[in-house]
Amino acid sequence: MQRIAESELIINDRGAIYHLNLLPEELATTVITVGDPDRVELVSRHFDSIEVKRQHREFVSHTGRIGNKRLTVISTGIGPDNIDIVLNELDALVNIDMTTRIIKETLTPLNIIRIGTSGSLQASIPVDSFVASTHGLGLDNLLNFYRLEHTEEENQLLQSFITHTQLTTQITFPYISRASASLLKHFVTNFHHGITVTCPGFYGPQGRLLRLGVKNPDLINRLTSFSFGQHQITNFEMETSSIFGLGRLLGHNCMSLNAIVANRIQKQFSKDSGALVDRLIKHSLEIISTLP
Ligand code: URA
């Protein structure tokens, strides 16, 4: 087995992985990701005990317990480029020996659950509701740098999606990856289910027009009206597909839970998005703390 060089796997003076500033023993095998660093505390305040708090740049992490369940909550910042760092470093913490720099023979799967905000693309999914993503459909390109292989069904869905949305390769090359079935089945009551589209930006890539025009002005309509078999696009945001895609390649179980703060069809925004996110955190923790 090959030793991974210092330039590829960066370890700080504390012996912690560079960006996350975490040691292997400081990470639980159930990981909740949030975008906003300030939201980490809003999750860990529900822990019965906290054993470690770390921060480096936008990556704040708290590890503790609810009952016997050991959990880490970590902030990723916004967007798929940060997810590349977070997913690779979380995986390295459990699957690469940080002393010998060699990939372990026995790999450990993590449960990685995103709790984040999102915009609804269906009139029937109002602000202040929750969506559990069945799939992440990436317009963000991150997984095109890796060797993600689609199933036949995924290829057909993508082909149909590209034809329907008329997204050209000049804009993006979409990819798709499923949620972990073993996690998704726990998030049914109180959750809408559907495909979450992940965008590489909040404004143009999500069809928000302030002072700039966009190449595909009909994008929102075409996302809303897309269907493939029983699959429909419910919402969009900025992390899910990259978590699902990298998680799948690395062998982790991934889930994405979305608080719908905006409805882009009804042109509404939640009157109290803070309270909404708090409700999603509490409801999700009740489920996550009892996962096997
Ligand atoms: N996050 C997004 O990326 N888009 C929204 O509309 C709301 C939250």
Residue 123 lies in a domain: yes
Q: How far is the CA of 117 from the centre of ligand 1 (A)?
A: 6
The answer as to whether 1 is a domain residue is no
Specify whether the CB–CB gap between 53 and 61 falls below 8 A. Answer: yes
The tokens for 249 are 């390649």
Q: In a 3-state reduction of DSSP, which class is residue 120?
A: strand
Atom of ligand 1 nearest to the CA of 264: 6
Q: Distance of CA 72 to CAs 110, 136, 238, 272, Å?
A: 11, 23, 21, 26
Tens digits of pLDDT across the chain (292 residues): 799 999 999 999 999 999 999 999 999 999 999 999 999 999 999 999 999 999 999 999 999 999 999 999 999 999 999 999 999 999 999 999 999 999 999 999 999 999 999 999 999 999 999 999 999 999 999 999 999 999 999 999 999 999 999 998 989 999 999 999 999 999 999 999 999 999 999 999 999 999 999 999 999 999 999 999 999 999 999 999 999 999 999 999 999 999 999 999 999 999 999 999 999 999 999 999 999 8
| Gap between the Cα atoms of 274 and 256, Å rounded | 18
Per the CB < 8 A criterion, the answer to whether 282 and 46 are in contact is: yes
Q: 261, 265, 269, 276: which to mutate for ligand 1, most atoms within 8 A of CB?
A: 261
- Residue of 206, 209, 220, 256 with the most ligand 1 atoms within 8 Å of its CB, for mutation: 206
109 belongs to a structural domain: yes
| Domain range enclosing 69 | 24-288
Residue 284: which CATH number? 3.40.50.1580
* Per-position DSSP letters for 161-213, written without gaps between them: HHHHHT--TTT---EEEEPPHHHHTT--TTEEEEEEEE-S-SSGGGT--SS--
Q: Is the ipTM of this complex over 0.90?
A: yes
- For the chain, first and last CA: distance in Å? 33
What is the number of structural domains in the chain?
1
The finding on whether 270 has its CB within 6 A of some atom of ligand 1 is: no
Task: Report if residue 5 sits inside a domain.
Answer: no
Q: How many CA atoms lie within 13 A of 49 on its CB side?
A: 6
Q: What is the pLDDT of residues 83-135, one digit of tens each?
A: 999 999 999 999 999 999 999 999 999 999 999 999 999 999 999 999 999 99
262 lines ligand 1 (CB under 6 A): yes
With vertex at residue 120, the alpha carbon angle to CA 117 and CA 122, rounded to the nearest 5 degrees, is 165
Q: Is residue 115 part of a domain?
A: yes
**Is the distance from CB of 131 to CB of 196 less than 8 angstroms?**
yes
The count of other CB atoms within 10 Å of the CB of residue 148 is 18
Q: Is the CB of 256 under 6 A from ligand 1?
A: no
pLDDT digits (tens, 9 = 90+) for 141-168: 999 999 999 999 999 999 999 999 999 8
| Residue 68 placed within a domain | yes
Measured over the CA atoms of residue 174, residue 239, residue 278 and residue 207, the dihedral's sign is negative
CA–CA separation, 89 and 84 (whole Å): 8
Residue 239 alpha carbon to ligand 1 centre in Å: 10
3-state helix, strand, coil in the chain (%, to 5): 30, 30, 40
Place of tokens 């999102």: 118
Q: Do the domain assignments include residue 81? A: yes
